[in-house]
Chains A and B, each alone.
Chain A
Amino acid sequence: MTRILIRNGTVLDQRGERRADVLVDGGVVTAVAPDLSASADDDTAPLTVLDADGCIVSPGFVDLHVHLREPGREEAETIETGSRAAALGGFTAIVAMPNTEPPHDSLTTIEFVRAQARRAGLCEVAPAGCITLGRAGEHLAPLGELAAAGVHLFTDDGNGVQDPALMRRALEYARPLGIVLAQHCEVASLTKGAVMHEGSCCSHLGLPGWPAIAEELMVHRDIELSRLTGAPVHFLHLSTARSVQLVRAAKAEGLAVTAEAAPHHFTLTDELLRTFDATYKVNPPLRTPDDIAAIKAGLRDGTIDAIATDHAPHPPESKEAPLDQAPPGMLGLETALALAITELDLPIADVVAALSWKPAAIAGLDARHGRPVEVGEPANLAVFDPTATWTVVPARLASKSRNTPYAGRTLRGRVRHTVFGGDAVVIDGVAQR
């Protein structure tokens, strides 16, 4: 851990916005004040100076929804390459989804993921646990054992827990453990063979549709199960207008529900599937302009707490297939901030909240991430230029895969530096490890 001076930036956190330099030493923030250059020079220890002219200095971002593919699918992504993509996207912590092979349903796998993440040293990786063994929706995973080992978020992501009785028991069992169950909302019997949003576009293309109701029924069910059990539920990647309404109403009633939305669900529509390009296949699918408007409104009024990428790498050969044969998913880590700045009509403070301290709290990472930029706080920071424009070039992404739907798009907002655990892991847009 080196000494780092972040100079000439604007600090933005949950306490507000102010012009200040930030000094980091020994993994913590040691000074936040205007013009710290002179006092930093007094010390003889080596100093890394990060220029932040025109930039925002904020708590590091936290992604609630990342597929790192390791163990099992290392040809698509590894914990190291995914961590590097995260760091370049300004994330200092990411929640790794449990749909690996083997899945995160044992301490062995959880500890393996953590060890690989420590080895990479680019961001904190918090593995989410499975709700059910093997994500098969039949038997509960060892929630208590994993909770005792520090796992906070549990999900069968990729699958929704179909059986309402099992989901009820899981929530009842989870409540005293202080953990959060996160649901991939999809009633599977309504989405058999589905490859895209059910609507006029799929009708024209002759592709099986994924109806909005398949998500909304499970959102509704789990709101009611949260009410019944008193246990919190987090809704992953909401994609439909009606889902946003349901969560808004549940929050108005004071229920313990939270929600996230992915950038592709507030930027892209199902019309893109007319190209038959599987880059645009994702689950839940791209939907309509009305749904996009509702997701944006949900982010604006706080119904949707967090922007989470659902970063889902796939190698080119698997995406170069007909839509019904290609796997769903798209990259997200390196474009999330820019899409939020470019496409959401939100104050920067709200964008940072949805990327940082709000998801940190949901993930139970708020002791280390999403902290105010103040003396004594852990030095997990993102420094980004909200006005810089750049063009997405898949070959330049750090992810091992190339399946971004934004190739060639020019976006506004770029991460310049990322400080993780007191180390500058990204300097001027270049990963240092």
Chain B
Amino acid sequence: MKHLLDIGDLDAAAIVHLLDLTDHMVEINRRPMPKVPALRGKTVVNLFFEDSTRTRTSFDTAARRLSADVMNFAVSSSSVNKGESLRDTIETITAMGVDAFVVRHSSSGAPTLITRWTNASIVNAGDGWHQHPTQALLDCYTIRTALQRPTGFDGLRIAIVGDVKHSRVARSDVQAFTALGAHVTLVAPPTLLPPDTSGWPVDVSHDLDALLPDLDVVYLLRMQRERMRDALVPSLREYTARYGLTPERAARLAPHALVMHPGPMNRGVEMAVDPAELPGSVVLQQVTNGVAVRMAVLFELLGSGSDLPADTETGTRP
């Protein structure tokens, strides 16, 4: 694997392989000294054209735990508008000697374009409304561990609720969850769904209440205030009333059901309960697993079989 651009490029076996690798990274992260020399001498550049402290920090932590050298470039789109093209930015940083770019960009497809201008590996850390493949992997990992589904998601019923149209998380999760065998239902008003999902392997519903008792996972998407401007929903209040996870709805979930969110949450909107009071909430596990999944991805792209991180307690190798 040279790049991670689109979770759709991975089949079920490739996803499971990365999740297995993540198990080892989780083990490393539990050590008193959570750091291995696997990527010593490798240079990873976090190139964020869009602000995202949490994703950047997660990648940064992942790279440092594998002993990679990390450079952070926060390129605000305004400085790009001042003249330097995306191509020039990439070629300039590549000239410094880079093994991988972790790219966040507000434009769908920007990481794909970047592969034309550098020999470094590209990890898509979120592009426009298109893809966020490491989010999909960490979500899969979280479900797999929380529901003890090490080999696949056959028979799992997952609802992705909210603004699917503008969500790279939803696009990535749909592909990853269904690749692993889950049954996915998108739940949103028609205005927040993509214009044509006829080719997607999902069901579509506009009625969250009808689905609740049968769900194994309810995945809430962030509801952005700017959607009100475009008349996609009348008000946040109405959105919460119809699609928010209220205490009443949470009470109708199955006891084992997970509640997930990619963050940052809008308390009182899509998350209209305190997640700390939800037994099924795995929101913080998602964040924890994010670091381990990103370690697995960076290791898969940059590691060279000979420097696999040995498990010091058992001596086994992944």
Contacts and interface: CB of A to CB of B under 8 A. Distances in A.
B133 to A, nearest CB: 13
Given A200-B196, A207-B129, A317 B109 contact: no
A320 interface: yes
B107 A322 contact: yes
Interface string B189-221: 000001111111000000000000000000000
A274 to B, nearest CB: 9
A324 B80 CA distance: 14
A252 to B, nearest CB: 32
Contact of A320 (B86, B166, B197): B86
A321 B86 contact: yes
A204 B131 CA distance: 10
B195 A206 contact: no
Nearest to A199: B196
A215 to B, nearest CB: 15
Interface in A186-219: 198-200, 202-207, 209, 211
Contacts of A320: 85-87, 113
A322 B195 contact: no
B168 interface: yes
Nearest to B81: A325
Interface string A205-243: 111010100000000000000000000000000000000
Interface string A280-313: 0000000000000000000000000000000000
Given A322-B107, A322-B109, A322-B110, A205 B86 contact: no
Interface string A323-356: 1110000000000000000000000000000000
Nearest to A273: B109
B195 A209 contact: yes
A390 interface: no
A111 B155 CA distance: 72
Contacts of B113: 276, 320-322
A322 B85 contact: no
B171 A206 contact: yes
Contact of A205 (B109, B197, B198, B199): B109
Interface residues of B, number: 25
B85 A321 contact: yes
B87 A324 contact: no
B240 interface: no
B196 A325 contact: no
Interface in B72-127: 85-87, 105, 107-110, 112-113, 127
A369 B86 CA distance: 45
A205 B175 CA distance: 13
A204 B199 contact: yes
Contacts of B194: 202-204, 206
Contacts of B112: 275-276
A207 B128 contact: yes
Contact of A203 (B110, B128, B131, B197): B197
Nearest to A277: B113
A209 B196 CA distance: 10
B108 A211 contact: no
- Name the interface size band of chain A: 20 to 34
A203 B196 contact: yes
Contacts of B171: 204, 206
B129 A200 contact: no
B76 to A, nearest CB: 14
A205 B108 contact: yes
Given A322-B109, A323-B108, A206 B86 contact: no
Contacts of A321: 85-86, 113
A382 to B, nearest CB: 38
A206 B168 contact: yes
A195 B85 CA distance: 19
B130 interface: yes
A325 B107 contact: yes
A50 B110 CA distance: 50
Contacts of B195: 198-199, 202-203, 209, 211
Contacts of A317: 85, 87
A320 B198 CA distance: 31
A322 B86 contact: yes
Contact of B199 (A200, A209, A211, A324): A200
Interface in A140-181: none
Contacts of B105: 322
A320 B200 CA distance: 30
Contacts of A324: 107-108, 128
A325 B195 CA distance: 22
B318 to A, nearest CB: 33
Nearest to A200: B196
Contacts of B87: 317, 320
Contacts of B166: 206
A270 to B, nearest CB: 11
A395 to B, nearest CB: 18
B25 to A, nearest CB: 28
15 contacts: A198-B195, A200-B196, A200-B197, A200-B198, A202-B194, A202-B195, A206-B131, A206-B166, A207-B109, A317-B87, A320-B113, A321-B86, A321-B113, A322-B109, A323-B109
List of 8 A-B pairs having minimum Cβ-Cβ separation, nearest first: A276-B109, A206-B129, A322-B107, A203-B194, A206-B130, A200-B196, A206-B108, A322-B110
Interface of A: 198-200, 202-207, 209, 211, 275-276, 317, 320-325
Given A207-B128, A325-B107, 4 more contacts: A200-B198, A206-B194, A209-B195, A276-B112
